[in-house]
Amino acid sequence: MVGLLLNVIVIVFIVGILYLLLKTVLLQTGAKSNEQVERKLDRIIALLEQQSK
């Protein structure tokens, strides 16, 4: 049970870091489809959180 909780925390942590990295890269490149990419990332994060529950 504790191991599962730790896995969830680690996954969320890693996804959060990747999300921030992608966001900064997109902001630097000034991508026009920034909002679309953000929506897709939000959807992916939501799916990961659902699966980890």
> What 3-state DSSP class applies to 26?
helix
Predicted confidence at residue 31, as pLDDT, reads 55
Query: Can you tell me the distance from the alpha carbon of 13 to that of 36, in angstroms, rounded to the nearest whole number?
Result: 23
Short-list 36, 37, 42, CA closest to 16: 42
Query: Can you tell me the distance from the alpha carbon of 47 to that of 53, in angstroms, rounded to the nearest whole number?
Result: 10
Predicted confidence at residue 49, as pLDDT, reads 86
User: Residue 39 pLDDT more than 70?
Assistant: yes
Predicted confidence at residue 10, as pLDDT, reads 92
Query: Can you tell me the distance from the alpha carbon of 16 to that of 45, in angstroms, rounded to the nearest whole number?
Result: 9
Q: What pLDDT, in 10s, does the model give residues 26-38?
A: 777 665 566 777 7
Q: What pLDDT, in 10s, does the model give residues 7-22?
A: 889 999 999 999 888 8
- At position 36, the amino acid (one-letter code) is Q
